[in-house]
Amino acid sequence: MKYIEKLRNSGLRPTKQRLQICEVLFDTERTFHFTINQLEQRIKDKIDNKISLATIYNTVHAFEKKGYLKQIPLNSNQTYFDTNVTDHHHFYDLKKEKLIDLENSDVGPINIKRKINGKKIKSIEVLVKLDD
């Protein structure tokens, strides 16, 4: 398995559940955005055994902490995650409630002129909301 090493190197035991979740999350042609419930559904579709919802939450949070996933700031009753952990921005289609990645070449450089004393910029994220 290609994820055993990755997990071990992160200090996470490569359990059956985590490896299967890795396949669902990272064995894909493209990166994608998901809520926990959407991920639960994908897992059900792709694997035979059951993984408890608690484990899905635990794993997603563990992966997020290790930097393999990130949360996307959005106003929704559910938390959105992204398998694309590179710096990038988003369109948010308000009608379809769907996120679309913006390539870095799609957005001009963001120039933050103001500084806050003793604070460092950790990330800069642009959210472009789309109407009809």
Partner DNA sequence: ACACTTATTTAGAACCATTATAAACTGCAA
Partner DNA sequence: TTGCAGTTTATAATGGTTCTAAATAAGTGT
Q: Please, what is the minimum distance in Å from the beta carbon of residue 106 to DNA?
A: 28
Q: Please, what is the minimum distance in Å from the beta carbon of residue 87 to DNA?
A: 23
Distances, alpha carbon 60 to alpha carbons 7, 25, 69, in Å: 13, 10, 7
Positions that interact with DNA (CB under 7 A): 8, 11-18, 35-37, 49-55, 57-59, 61, 77-79
Sole window of 3-11, 27-35, 41-49, 122-130 interacting with its own copies (rule: CB under 8 A): 122-130
Category of 72 on φ-ψ map: left (φ > 0), alpha (ψ -120 to 50) or beta: beta
Cα separation of 88 and 85, whole Å? 8
Q: Answer yes or no whether residue 30 interacts with its own copies by CB under 8 A.
A: no
Q: Answer yes or no whether residue 37 interacts with its own copies by CB under 8 A.
A: no
Q: Residue 14: helix, strand or coil by DSSP? A: coil
